[in-house]
Structure 1
Amino acid sequence: MAEAYKFELVSPERLLVSESVESVVIPATEGEMTVMANHSPVMTTIKPGVVRVKTVSGKEDRYVVYGGFADILPDVCTLLAESAVHVDSFNKSDIATRIQAAREDVGSAPDDQSRTRAEEFLHHLAALEDTV
């Protein structure tokens, strides 16, 4: 059995998870990361995706996140999400609304850099829609 460590998933609305876990897979902007106890300290940004949590009791949960950042230390991982919900509470119409808003952001971007960021965000949302 893997060593346990503390994981917290926080959104502006509420604390979704605060418990001992074996591992967490997070959708970092540079690619998926599996975080376990004694992980090297890292701070990373999060893209829209699914966080997979495996608790010490063996239970596995999934949460949909729409960005944010994670602070990873050897004994704790804190993910501060811009927005997050348990996958069972995921609403397909919510992601459709977010995709439409992202398309509008692409169309109204004032410069190439803003347009590129908006297109990347739109791409991540579309991939998330296909995943959940």
Structure 2
Amino acid sequence: MADKLHFSLVSPAKEVFSGEVDHVIAPGSEGEFGVLVNHAPFMTTLKNGVVRVLENGTTKMRIFVRGGFADVTSEGLTILAEEARLLEDVTAASVQEEIDATLLKIQSLDKDDSARIALQEHFDYLESLKAALVH
């Protein structure tokens, strides 16, 4: 369809979505951006946040991404995310359980332990994911 944007979102675990859509809004590292069919080509990095897929002006899907890249070409938009979760499949309770478990791991490590940095980044990601569930 010439009036639709081909959109694909892929994480290391799986292809989260691939299909024709009206509009995609994504959390670029320099700010949120939108892509419609026939958008000028560009590439950018993504920050943690929500990718919104719109049809007829209504949000049809929300996907939380943990960083990555967005590539807009004449073929459409491809997002390569470090991690991606469909928000409809995530509950605040399950995220809170992950937050609690991660916090316990952080607290059990020495302040100088190198694993602490990765766990802190994961904790921050989970906090962002939890916030996205409320909005």
* The two structures share one fold, judged by TM-score above 0.5: yes
Q: Which structure: larger Rg?
A: 2
How large is the RMSD of aligned CA atoms in angstroms?
A: 3.2
Indicate whether 1:49 and 2:52 are aligned. no
**Partner-residue secondary structure (3-state), 1:131:** helix
Residue 96 (structure 1) aligns with: 99
CA distance in 2, matches of 1:68, 1:87: 17
Residue 35 (structure 1) aligns with: 35
**After superposition, what is the alpha-carbon deviation per residue over 1:82-125, rounded to whole angstroms, capped at 9, x for unaligned?**
1111112224147626975xx89xx6599xxxx9xx88x94x76
**After superposition, what is the alpha-carbon deviation per residue over 1:36-78, rounded to whole angstroms, capped at 9, x for unaligned?**
111111111111111111247x771111111111111133100
What is the TM-score when the length of structure 2 is the normalising length?
Answer: 0.69
**Partner-residue secondary structure (3-state), 1:71:** strand
Residue 67 (structure 2) aligns with: 67
Number of equivalent positions: 119
Residue 47 of structure 2 aligns with an amino acid whose one-letter code is: K
What is the TM-score when the length of structure 1 is the normalising length?
Answer: 0.71
Runs of 4+ aligned structure 1 residues displaced above 6 Å come to none
Instruction: Identify unmatched segments of 5+ residues in structure 1.
Output: none
For residues 1-132 of structure 1, the aligned pairs below 5 Å read 3-55=3-55, 60-90=60-90, 91-93=94-96, 96=99, 100=103, 122=124, 126-132=127-133
**Partner-residue secondary structure (3-state), 1:92:** helix
Residue 96 of structure 1 aligns with an amino acid whose one-letter code is: I
Q: Cα 1:94–1:29, aligned 2, differ >3 Å: closer, same or farther?
A: farther
